[in-house]
Copies of this chain bind each other. A is one copy, B any other.
Amino acid sequence: MYFRALVFLEKNQKDYISSSELAEFVHIKPPQIRKDFSYFGAFGTKGIGYDIKNLINEIQSILKLDSPQKAALIGAGKLGTALCLFPGFKAYGFEISAIFDKDPDKIGKKIGNTTIEDVATVDSLTQRNIKLAILAVPANTAQSTTAELVQAGITGILNLSPCYLDVPPDVKVVTIDIAMELGALPYYI
C-alpha cells in the first residue's frame, strides 16, 4: 500500500515526504508508518523525512519487486481476459507471460500477444521458471487446478475464486473474493 502511494506521489514536485504527509495520504497514523518501516531498516533522515525515490527502492527490494516477475494466467474467461489486459500489473513489474485454458476453442488464440495454451500442459511452467499464477477458473475446478500448479513448481497463487485452496506450506495463496467483499457493505451501511 505504501509502495502504491509512493509511486503515485513520486509524480509530484517534492523529493521528500514526512510520515505525517504520507499518513494523511494513506489514511494511517504517522507512528504506524514509522514503526512499519523500522522493522526493515532506517530509511529516513531526521528533521527532513523520507527521500521518496529512495524509499520506493527500499520497499521494492523488501517486497522483491526489484526484478521483473513473470506470472501465468490460468483461465481465459471474461475475468481472466480482463486481468490480462489490465495495465495495473506493470507498476509492480509483473508480466503475464503465459495463459492457459481448457476450452479447445480458446487454445491457440491470443490475448494481447500471448497465445493461450492447453491447461493440460501447465507442467511446462517448471522449465519456463514461472513461479506465480493468477487463478481465474470456476470454483469447482480451482482446487484440482491448484494441485497441478503446485506440481509445476508454482509457489505463489492469486486466487480469484470464492474458495479456500489447500496447498503445501511453502506455497502462498492470496484469495480475492469479490462477491464476499461486496457482501460486507450492507452491514456497514
Check B65 against A156 for contact (C-beta < 8 Å): no
Tell me the nearest residue of chain B to A174, going by C-beta: B181
A39 CB–B CB distance under 8 Å: no
Number of chain copies forming the complex: 2
Check A179 against B91 for contact (C-beta < 8 Å): yes
Chain A positions near chain B (C-beta within 8 angstroms): 1, 3-5, 8, 25-27, 62-65, 69, 71, 77-79, 81-83, 85-86, 88-89, 91-92, 94, 131-132, 134, 139, 155-158, 162-164, 172, 174, 176-189
26 contacts between A and B (CB under 8 A): A3-B183, A4-B162, A4-B177, A4-B180, A64-B187, A69-B186, A71-B182, A78-B82, A78-B85, A79-B83, A81-B82, A86-B178, A88-B139, A88-B177, A89-B182, A92-B179, A92-B182, A94-B179, A131-B189, A132-B185, A132-B186, A156-B185, A156-B186, A156-B188, A172-B185, A174-B182
